[in-house]
Each structure stands twice: as structure tokens, then as C-alpha cells.
Amino acid sequence: MAAARINQSPVKIAVCLLILLSGCTSIADLNDRSRRIEREWMLEYQKGEDELRFRVVEAPAIVVYEEMRRTLIDLGLPIVRESFANGVLVAENNAPSPLTKEEWLNGLSLSNTTFRKTTRKVAQAELHSE
């Protein structure tokens, strides 16, 4: 009898918590907040993407061209088309190998950090708007 009571206690607590937490918000609210988080995430992603899209280098064109050429070769990207006169340098290669477990975990921790920051921003915005 005592064993049955011990096993029921965590279940009762879990059910009570579930009722309390689910009663506080509706599905529409959850969906709305998820959309807000996704929007914030996408904006942050696009800002970073814009920053990495181009660079201005104060150097003669021939120096930049040769350095880009050398960099592509160092990265293992074979150059398939080039024209210094037209400012064209095209390199192609197969897709990279999948991430190692360590690389995946590192990327995951960075994503989780960004997710937490974004979630805090949305929550703070909601508090100030109410």
C-alpha cells in the first residue's frame, strides 16, 4: 500500500503542474509567441548574413585577385573559371563532409545561446507592450 502511494505522488504533482501550466495560455497565444520568436530569429540571421556578404579591401585589384585565388586553392576549391579583366573568379567543389559530433555540439550550443537571447527579447517586448 505504501509503495502505491509513493508512485502516485510524482504523478499527482506532474498532473497538477500540467494543469497549472496549460491553463495559463491558449494554443493561439503559443502559436503567436512562436511566430514572434521565429521572426526575431530570422531578423538576427539576416543581419549576420548581410554583414558577411561582402568586404571592402583597400588594396590594388591585382593583389586582391591573387589573394582570393590563393585562398580558394588553399581551401581546396578548384578554380573553374577566371578572368582578371572581367573580375571573375569561380571555384566549385563537392559539398563538405558532415559535421563531427564535436562540431555539431559546438554549433548547437551557439544556436541555443542565440535562441535564449531572442526569446528574452520577445518576452521583454511583450512585458513592455502590456
Q: What angle do CA 59, 51, 57 make, to 5 degrees?
A: 0
Is 49 part of any domain?
yes
Report the pLDDT averaged over residues 1-10: 56
Between the alpha carbon of residue 21 and those of residues 10, 14, 15, the distances in Å are 16, 10, 10
**pLDDT band for position 82 (50/70/90)?**
very high
pLDDT over 90 percentage in the chain: 17
72 φ/ψ sector (left φ>0, alpha ψ -120 to 50, else beta)? alpha
Whole-number average pLDDT of the chain: 77
Residue 4 lies in a domain: no
Number of domains in the chain: 1
On whether residue 7 sits in a domain, the answer given is no
| Backbone angle region of 76, left / alpha / beta, with phi > 0 → left and psi within -120 to 50 → alpha | left
64 by Cβ neighbours in 10 Å (0-12 / 13-18 / 19+) ranks as middle
- Statement: residue 85 has pLDDT above 80: yes
- Single out the residue of 37, 29, 22 nearest to residue 116, CA to CA: 37
> Residue 95 sits in which domain range?
27-129
**Is 11 within the bounds of a domain?**
no
The Cβ of residue 72 has, within 10 Å, a number of other Cβ atoms equal to 18
Kindly report, residue by residue over 27-66, the tens digit of the pLDDT: 788 788 888 888 888 888 887 777 776 777 788 989 989 9
Is residue 123 situated within a structural domain? yes
Judge whether 19 lies within some domain. Answer: no
Q: Measured between alpha carbons, how far is 15 from 37 in angstroms, rounded to an integer?
A: 28
Residue 90's pLDDT is: 92
Residue 111 lies in a domain: yes
CA dist., res. 39 & res. 123, Å (int) = 13
Residue 5 belongs to a domain: no
pLDDT at position 1, please? 46
